[in-house]
Structure 1
Amino acid sequence: MSGPLWLVPPDREGSGRPDTLPHVPRPRRPGWAAPDPVDELAERMAALIAAAVHPDEIAAIIESDGMSDDQIRLTYGRENSFALAEELFERIPRSYPEPGGEGPDPWRVSLLGCLLRALVFAMPGLAYVVGAHLLTGPPDSLGLPAGTLPVLAGALTGWMWNQALAHRAYSWLGLGDRYAAARALALGAPAGALAGTAVAWAASGVDEDAAGAVLFAVGQALYLAAATTLLVFGHERALLCALLPLALGAVAVAALHPPDAVRTALLLLSLAAATGLAARAVRGHLREARHKGAGPRAAASLPYGLFGLATGVLVLHTALGDVLRYGTGATVAAPSAVALTLSMGPAEWLLYRYRSNAVAGLRASTTPAAFWRATSGALARCLLGYLAVLAALDAAGTFLWPDGPPLDAARLGGLLLLGTVLWTALLLQAFGAVAVSAVVCGAAAVTQTVVLLTGPLSPVLTQLIVCGGAALVLSALGSALLGRATAHR
């Protein structure tokens, strides 16, 4: 501005009366009319007026410059700042300036960090290699390898419990209460380990021949509890260090064939390291100050537990389908299981990538339809990127894994459909639509289980139909729900 807004222009008629409205002389001939003071004001404030989205913004600027309603009536002949602002808003067309550069993007994360988490997720699978001597024996009545039912039942229980527990702990951390998060883990993690042990023991049928499998399931339950605690507090590197004896044991099994006692000792060493580090983390945070105020509802974590159970069942159906189709050896199911586990790192990075693209779409789009096209395109690109990674990992695992299944179209198609279900469900969960994800995945898991037990269709065809339907539903819901700008607040 060239000067204060309340600067009174000179009285062109020479009245010199400051307590009256400026007199606009009657034009004597064209071009002799006195200029309207509002025009001068509009010219000085043109940039501010053009950028305003409502007259009240202009009124706020006028008032912040110190002009009272009396001065506005005296100088501009308008009733008050709001009347003057409305007229200025109508005179100057809208012209919103472009930002000076890209704004901050909170969704940019390191790919290396996500890959590290994928490695942490995958390495516990080596326990099935190192502890294979605990899972020996004839196949069970369903034709599955010895110890399969106790181990899988305990794993499903752990996935469900710890998914809900992690959400509750994260909810406390979101409120800034690390003490309450540590307390929830101190109570919930041991309870989850006990629940996993009890379910595994019940699934074994109290069979003495399954004692080794039950002991393995006990260690599995303890590890899941410890790993959940460390991951919630962001101690991925500590967990990776705890798993190094397990990795050493896998190398030793492949190259040296150590005795069973050495293999068991390496399993226990990793387990002791993980549980010890988790206990240390919890103990440290329990020393922090308590926060007063209402906490998150426990019922809010239930959908996350059901989601963990449903996705766990779908993943196990893929592994069991490979076992039933190609043989009874547990190694047959390894390539698919390893590919899914390792793909969780790129999946996490692509979830962040989608949110970053959505932020860019919000800045660039001017209509709801344009924003929907931007987010739908980002969803398709990120999903296709994840499926490409999953297919590459499965192909590599099938080629490198001894006694692995063949890489046929039906098996790969089922795995990619399952990957679509998992990634889109995780995306919806990240935006708070966990109930939708849990319902769709739960319905798919129940349907596939019922069809597999009743036997009208083959496991492969069942997976193609069930996972294909769930993938279509979740993809359509993702495009519809996330195509609205309000979902990205």
Structure 2
Amino acid sequence: MSGSIWMPPGSRPDTLPAIPRQRTKPSWAQPDPLDELAERLDDFIAAAVHPDEIAALLESDGLSDDQIRERYGVKNSFALAEELYERVERRYPEPDGPVHDPWQVGLLGCLLRGVVFALPGLGYVLGAPLLAGPRDDFGLPAGTVPLLAGALVGWTWNQGLAHRAYSWLGLGDRGAARRSLLLGAPAGALLGALVALIVAGTAAKVDMAAVAFAAGQACYLGAATALLVMGRERALLAVLSPMAAGAVVALIHSVPDAARLTLLLGSLTGVAVLGLREVAPPKGRGELRDQPQSTRSRDTTMGPRLSASLPYALFGLATGVLVLYAALGDILTGEQRSAVAAPAAVALTLSMGPAEWLLYRFRSGSLAGLRSSSTPRAFWRATVNTVLKCLSGYLLALLVLSLATSALWPHAPGIAGVRLAGLLLLGVVLWTGLLLQSFGAVLSAAAICSAAALAQTLALVTHSGSPHWIGLIVHGTAALAQATLVCAQLGRVTAHR
């Protein structure tokens, strides 16, 4: 028997032994779904600085909390992200090629936008003699209140309109962005002109010249918004150049009223025509017909909500009020006789070019911090260092522009002491507000700036102190509140992606 082969009972010598059936693995041998997910997302998880980055990725993949509880047995995406973060060892591999940085922009383009923002202010230089007259009931130069009311309405409306158009562009639907501008810009221009007319009608004598100027201002704001959103800064600069040159000449030599009016109307007409051409539907074929079916359905079902643009409009109104008070501070104290001489407003407007570029530099630096940091605390320190450098750079640019405009502007009072400190603090409010917007915290920025504008208005109406000291206190408080929010946002890694 030692040399024979054992065979199962009943089997014949001429048959092969049966192949045993494959056994199923016991439940304890089944692969862990968490391990499978960790292996699939290994590279991303290993490079994550904070679990929130992983949670954002899971949510972007469409995983709901119910699916996460069913598949992985944890409460929600944040709990799953923390579990994955713990399972995968941290490592930060260097990319094979150059690191993609979407925040790299040229300084010249941003400076050009700042100049384009400031050039329309020269229109007030040309229009000043056309608005000559006695001071109004508030002690302000003739036509000031209707112009300011129309400007505030325009800034508010067009800030919200620009956000809506940019939202459509972000969805890849340029046609919908054009349509929103084509409908929204004229509506905003009409609203601004009507508000100016209503405000002027409350005075003892209606200043029709101021109403006409305010109507032109409203039309310009709408058309310029369309051009800026669609990236036509150079065209806008070209059409404003003759008016700007005429205003510079008017600061030195006397210019006839007919020439002033011609330059103003010519620039307004040119900007309006360019804006209309930019947003008008293409000729020869229907724009909607050329869009894919998915885009057409998204126009009505998945487009940006109108309510999403409201905080941006509110932020535009609040910051507009704060900038106007900075411009009118010298008039309210009697140190300045004309609303045209507003070097503070000119400096703030010109500084928006460097401010935009430095915002991009901060976003670029935060991405570099994500790549170089291995812990949330190290990343927070890196971003704090970056934001301090960028904010310091902006304040330096604002200081240089403030001193330059004050020195070059005829009959403008010097800027120093409390006036300069308040202006720099207002710069902190504006820049940190824009930074909060980029983090998605626009509602917080709008709330703080609105509270500051309301507080400054109440203080000035009740004559609670000097306008410059009021501005210093209000701007300082708002700057501190927004700086605190920025510091809290810097630790949110997902805000920097």
Query: Which position in structure 1 is the counterpart of 2:323?
Result: 315
Tell me the CA shift for residue 98 of structure 1.
3.9
Tell me the CA shift for residue 464 of structure 1.
1.0
Contact 1:358–1:374 (Cα < 8 Å) also in 2: yes
Deviations 1:327-370 (A, max 9, x none): 34226752101100110000000000000110010000011000
Give the whole-Å Cα distance in 2 for the aligned partners of 1:318 and 1:237: 29
Tell me the CA shift for residue 408 of structure 1.
2.0
Select between 456-465 and 381-390 the one with higher mean Cα deviation.
Answer: 456-465
Deviations 1:310-338 (A, max 9, x none): 00000011111121224342267521011
Identity of aligned residues (%): 59
Query: Which position in structure 2 is the counterpart of 1:406?
Result: 414
Give the whole-Å Cα distance in 2 for the aligned partners of 1:467 and 1:252: 35
Question: Of residues 176, 192, 202 in structure 1, which corresponds to 2:198?
Answer: 202
**Residue 300 to residue 383, structure 1, CA distance change in 2 (3 Å):** same
Name the SS for the 2:101 alignment partner. coil
Query: Which position in structure 2 is the counterpart of 1:341?
Result: 349
Contact 2:125–2:251 (Cα < 8 Å) also in 1: no
1:187 paired with 2:183, answer yes
1:452 paired with 2:448, answer no
Query: Which position in structure 2 is the counterpart of 1:377?
Result: 385
Contact 1:193–1:221 (Cα < 8 Å) also in 2: yes
**Residue 285 to residue 326, structure 1, CA distance change in 2 (3 Å):** farther
Query: Which position in structure 2 is the counterpart of 1:470?
Result: 478
Deviations 1:194-218 (A, max 9, x none): 1000111111126555111111101
Query: Which position in structure 2 is the counterpart of 1:66?
Result: none
Stretches of structure 1 that go unaligned for 5 or more consecutive residues are: 1-18, 20-51, 59-91
Deviations 1:353-403 (A, max 9, x none): 000110010000011000001111111111111001001111111111111
Contact 1:332–1:403 (Cα < 8 Å) also in 2: no
Give the whole-Å Cα distance in 2 for the aligned partners of 1:57 and 1:265: 65
Query: Which position in structure 1 is the counterpart of 2:376?
Result: 368
Give the whole-Å Cα distance in 2 for the aligned partners of 1:328 and 1:143: 12
Query: Which position in structure 2 is the counterpart of 1:434?
Result: 442
Give the whole-Å Cα distance in 1 for the aligned partners of 2:92 and 2:406: 56
**Residue 483 to residue 147, structure 1, CA distance change in 2 (3 Å):** same
Tell me the CA shift for residue 284 of structure 1.
4.3
Aligned pairs for 1:131-280 (under 5 A) are: 131-205=127-201, 208=205, 210-280=207-277
**Residue 56 to residue 438, structure 1, CA distance change in 2 (3 Å):** closer
Contact 2:92–2:371 (Cα < 8 Å) also in 1: no
Name the SS for the 1:190 alignment partner. helix
Give the whole-Å Cα distance in 1 for the aligned partners of 2:318 and 2:38: 49
Tell me the CA shift for residue 245 of structure 1.
2.1
Which structure is richer in relative contact order (CA contacts within 8 A, separation 6 or more)?
Answer: 2
Give the whole-Å Cα distance in 1 for the aligned partners of 2:40 and 2:174: 43
Deviations 1:300-319 (A, max 9, x none): 11111101000000001111
Q: State TM-score, norm by structure 2.
A: 0.78
Query: Which position in structure 1 is the counterpart of 2:76?
Result: none
Contact 2:379–2:491 (Cα < 8 Å) also in 1: yes
Contact 2:192–2:215 (Cα < 8 Å) also in 1: yes
Tell me the CA shift for residue 95 of structure 1.
6.5
Select between 248-257 and 398-407 the one with higher mean Cα deviation.
Answer: 248-257
Query: Which position in structure 2 is the counterpart of 1:113?
Result: 109
**Residue 57 to residue 406, structure 1, CA distance change in 2 (3 Å):** closer
Contact 1:326–1:332 (Cα < 8 Å) also in 2: no
Question: Of residues 312, 332, 337 in structure 2, which corresponds to 1:329?
Answer: 337
**Residue 56 to residue 348, structure 1, CA distance change in 2 (3 Å):** closer
Contact 2:165–2:181 (Cα < 8 Å) also in 1: yes
Contact 1:371–1:484 (Cα < 8 Å) also in 2: no
**Residue 187 to residue 95, structure 1, CA distance change in 2 (3 Å):** closer
Deviations 1:87-118 (A, max 9, x none): xxxxx998654445651111110000001111
Select between 277-286 and 134-143 the one with higher mean Cα deviation.
Answer: 277-286
Give the whole-Å Cα distance in 2 for the aligned partners of 1:285 and 1:146: 44
Give the whole-Å Cα distance in 2 for the aligned partners of 1:129 and 1:307: 27
Name the SS for the 1:405 alignment partner. coil
Query: Which position in structure 1 is the counterpart of 2:118?
Result: 122
Contact 2:118–2:350 (Cα < 8 Å) also in 1: yes
Tell me the CA shift for residue 487 of structure 1.
1.3
Q: State TM-score, norm by structure 1.
A: 0.79
Name the SS for the 2:446 alignment partner. helix
Name the SS for the 1:391 alignment partner. helix
Question: Of residues 360, 364, 378 in structure 2, which corresponds to 1:352?
Answer: 360
| Aligned residue identity for 2:261 | T
Tell me the CA shift for residue 248 of structure 1.
2.7
Contact 1:126–1:247 (Cα < 8 Å) also in 2: yes
Give the whole-Å Cα distance in 2 for the aligned partners of 1:173 and 1:56: 33
**Residue 266 to residue 158, structure 1, CA distance change in 2 (3 Å):** same
Stretches of structure 2 that go unaligned for 5 or more consecutive residues are: 1-18, 20-35, 43-87
